[in-house]
Structure 1
Amino acid sequence: MFDVHVHAAPDVLARIGYDDQIGESYAAAGYSGFVLKAHHESTVGRASALSRSSGLEVVGGVALNRAVGGINPAAVLSALSTGGRVVWFPTADAHTQESAHLPRLGDLDERLDRSVLAVPPVLPADDEAVKNIGLVLDLIAEHDAVLCTGHLSGAECRWLLEQALDRGIGRFLLTHPSYTVPDMAVPEIAELADRGAHVEITAYQLLHQPGMTASRLAAVARAAGPRLVLASDAGQPDSPQPPMALNQLIDTLAGQGLDPGLLRDAAGDTPRRLVLP
């Protein structure tokens, strides 16, 4: 088992445990490893240290929010050149996050402005921004890293996939596309999966997403087919320990009639092959 999406302390939001405590929970559950995610800093150094100390395959990356300079090629090059494997396009600072009134760093201090990030087709004509996006994508391709869509809109996810295919990026993950952001419809998810995108479903959606049901998640899983990736997106104090949350998601989807073997692959071999070189 390999969890492609988990949060740990230290973080700007409360978390259920620190890196080493989260690692202990995965080791006790028999997982081979996980991807450590943070919205406002690179996790590459933290992941590397935990991997060395724990023996787990702990992977880090960088989310392209304002705290790292937004869609910033320098942050991406630094992360990928020091062992990072995952680049998330804007999450907490995506325009969708602000529109949906979901948590942002600016919530901690009113002196921060509320500016947001986007990519085409939402992005206004800005040569420098387009150049930076292109270089970020080139770096991902050159390092054979994973491109994750973050919290961008469905139209932006589609555009990113087109750019990824043009550049030969072979590792592309739609970040929880049925979550509140980006709230993509099942037929659109199925289309992008057919074109090569992996599709993430998270235990967080099952546990906390308003209006989400097991049957709706099962429909997304069927649309994803063999490109399904199951992850916890856990680490919140009001969620179970991340491996328990992911196991709960697997059991719930199995209860909807999905093949347990496919589900185990979606939480194990599939994400591990997607992330690891």
Structure 2
Amino acid sequence: MRAKSARQIVQQAILLTTAAILAFSLHANAQEAARPLEGVIDIHAHFMPDVVPRSIDAIEAARIAKQQGMRAIVLKNHYDSTSAQAFLVRKAVPGIEVFGGIALNLSVGGMNPAAVERMAQMSGGYGKIVWMGSFDTETQVRSEKTTRPFVAISKNGELLLETKAVIITIAKYHLALATGHNTPQEDLLLIREAKLQGIDRIVVTHAMMAPIHMSIPQMQQAASLGAYIEFVYNGTVGHFKEFELADYVKAIRAIGPSHCILASDLGQADNPIPTDGLIAYFAGLKRLGITQSELDQMSKTNPAHLLGLN
């Protein structure tokens, strides 16, 4: 049998190399399709245990998020700190970063810097976000047209002293400030005071949803001051649906993906679980022209910066 020429050997090597590259590419694409949330961070999701019905508990949610390749999740509870819960979930589900936070509602004393401090000091240091109230804010209560007690953050266009004390505590522990369920005007006051105190990790909580209802110019102003604008899938499905995905795309285009964060805000009993919601969310946005690079910016890069991650 005649020996192969040097040229034939080189051609065969090239063919083998090309086949290997193609096989690797197909394998990588299959893995990406199997794990569409690879590297994603969800900064806003709800889980059991809670005082209201939820679709999934924190350990189950972390396990599923890990299976989907997610980098991190942030556990949110309207009425209790979740930094201790994050510590325990990390032990139960190693291999995914789990963080907590605190929403400054009546159950934790409202604008209470001591509650923020203890949340930040909890074992592990996994408490990362302070929501400036949610279901107990003055704005939320007035939007419900009820007369129940509420948490005020401002008066006559000025932040209250206790609100400023909370912001100082957020700065002290290098936490992220989330504006919560307050008016657009109050959100802008919070952002300005946070910047004054040296805080550079700020997010406007689901800016378009009730009871906030920021306009696009107000969102642009918040972004110009250094805040991220959060867009949550919960606003487009289920009981809290107010918008179509096209409405979000219009706002994202006006603000710019570098100033936006995508999150689920899921966990409600009548909604998809957070991971399923995110998969549907991202697929819907891509159909409307949001690129994979833009999705990565809003679901990986920006949330990582908000949490102080590399």
Q: Same fold (TM over 0.5)?
A: yes
Cα displacement string for residues 198-229 of structure 1 (whole angstroms, at most 9, x for unaligned residues): 01000101113444112211122223310110
Given that residues 236 and 242 in structure 2 are in contact (C-alpha distance below 8 angstroms), is that contact kept between their aligned partners in structure 1? Answer: no
Q: 1:20 — aligned with what?
A: 59
RMSD: 1.9
User: Number of residue pairs matched?
Assistant: 264
> Which stretches in structure 2 are left out of the alignment for 5+ residues?
1-39
Given that residues 149 and 175 in structure 1 are in contact (C-alpha distance below 8 angstroms), is that contact kept between their aligned partners in structure 2? Answer: yes
Query: Is residue 67 of structure 1 aligned with residue 107 of structure 2?
Result: yes
Q: 2:285 — aligned with what?
A: 253
Query: Is residue 37 of structure 1 aligned with residue 76 of structure 2?
Result: yes
What secondary structure sits across from 1:200 in the alignment?
Answer: strand
Query: Is residue 238 of structure 1 aligned with residue 240 of structure 2?
Result: no
Given that residues 209 and 242 in structure 2 are in contact (C-alpha distance below 8 angstroms), is that contact kept between their aligned partners in structure 1? Answer: no
Query: Is residue 185 of structure 1 aligned with residue 224 of structure 2?
Result: no
Give 1:171 deviation, angstroms: 0.5
Query: Is residue 212 of structure 1 aligned with residue 243 of structure 2?
Result: yes
Q: Out of 37, 41, 66, which is 1:2 matched to?
A: 41
- 5 Å-filtered alignment, 1:1-277, equals 1-55=40-94, 56-82=96-122, 83=125, 84-101=127-144, 114-121=148-155, 130-208=160-238, 209-225=240-256, 226-277=258-309
Q: 2:16 — aligned with what?
A: none
Q: Distance in 2 between matches of 1:233 and 1:86?
A: 14
Question: What code does the residue aligned with 1:172 have?
Answer: I
Give 1:53 deviation, angstroms: 2.2
Question: What code does the residue aligned with 2:162 have?
Answer: N
Give 1:24 deviation, angstroms: 1.5
Cα displacement string for residues 220-258 of structure 1 (whole angstroms, at most 9, x for unaligned residues): 222331011000001112111201111211122222222
Cα displacement string for residues 127-182 of structure 1 (whole angstroms, at most 9, x for unaligned residues): xx933212211111111110000101101001001101111111000000000120
Cα displacement string for residues 23-53 of structure 1 (whole angstroms, at most 9, x for unaligned residues): 1121121111100000000001001111122
Whose RCO is larger (CA < 8 A, sep 6+)?
1
Q: 1:108 — aligned with what?
A: none
With over 3 angstroms needed to count, the CA separation of the structure-2 counterparts of 1:122 and 1:35, relative to structure 1, is farther
| Runs ≥4 residues deviating over 6 A | none
Given that residues 74 and 99 in structure 2 are in contact (C-alpha distance below 8 angstroms), is that contact kept between their aligned partners in structure 1? Answer: yes
Q: Distance in 1 between matches of 2:267 and 2:156?
A: 31
Larger Rg: 2
Identity %: 30
Given that residues 8 and 15 in structure 1 are in contact (C-alpha distance below 8 angstroms), is that contact kept between their aligned partners in structure 2? Answer: yes
Give 1:121 deviation, angstroms: 4.4
